[in-house]
Every structure is written in C-alpha cells, then in structure tokens.
Amino acid sequence: MGTDLKVGDIMTKKVIVVPLSESVAEVARLMKKNSIGSVIVVDEDDRDKAKGIITERDIIHKLIASGKDVAKANASSIMSKPLRVVRPNTTLEDAAKAMKENRIKRLPVVNEDNELIGVLSEGDLMRIFPAVVDLIEERAALK
C-alpha cells in the first residue's frame, strides 16, 4: 500500500469475545446484537488469550449445512483454529497480504504478551483505502 500506517492505527479496539463453552446460539445472538460477522473465542479463565474465531461462515458450514443441532453446539466445537494473528506494529501491507494468502477476512491483533487487543478486518482496510490512495498520489506527484 506504500504507507507507514500500522495495524494498531486502524484496528477495531472493541472486540466481542466469548468463552470456549459459550453456546453457538448465544454467539449468533451476540453477532446479531452487535452487527458483526465474527467473535473471538477466548480461554475460560483468561479473556485476553484468544483461542479461535467464529464467523458467520463457521455457523453455516459447520452446523446448519451439516445438519448438526445448533442448540447442543458450543464455541469450541466450531471455532476456526489455529488462530492467525498480527501485532499492532505490523504494516497494513503485510496484514493485507496475510489476509489474502490465508483467505481470511479478519486478523486478531495481539500484544507482545499474546493478549488480544483488537481485530483488523477487511472493512477496516476498506474504510481507510481512499486516504491511502490520496497519499500514494501525493507522493507520486512529488517525484
């Protein structure tokens, strides 16, 4: 992208998390209530330790389309893992490449102690995209 912006500059800091034992029905309610497409699954005893992620796609593919009982499923049974994460000082270009290479739309952001501090989504990247294009054009005009 050619900018000095880092993941920590644009990540979403308010992250909705659920414990490993949370029911999938409650996960879906949280996603609807907060108008989000995913939640981060955390350790039961340490809500800063991300263990996995559940997306709308996980609920559809791993439960509904497979004919499994949503009422009996919990977060740990359908979460995607291993969790791919980034640090806040990762460049947006590197984060975008990781998302593309891994075919994912969200990257949890962790600090040096591997504690969850945010999430970077495709939406976050697209929100700042017009400003990045302007910066690139300005730099090109200076050359």
- pTM to 2 decimals? 0.82
Q: How confident is the model over 1-42, as pLDDT tens digits?
A: 445 789 999 999 999 999 999 999 999 999 999 999 999 999
Q: How confident is the model over 53-106, as pLDDT tens digits?
A: 999 999 999 998 988 888 889 999 999 998 999 999 999 989 999 999 999 999
3-state SS record for the chain = CCCCCEHHHHCECCCCEEECCCEHHHHHHHHHHCCCCEEEEECCCCCCCEEEEEEHHHHHHHHHCCCCCHHHCEHHHHCECCCCCECCCCEHHHHHHHHHHHCCCEEEEECCCCCEEEEEEHHHHHHHHHHHHHHHHHHHHHC
Residue-range domains of the chain with CATH: 7-142 (3.10.580.10)
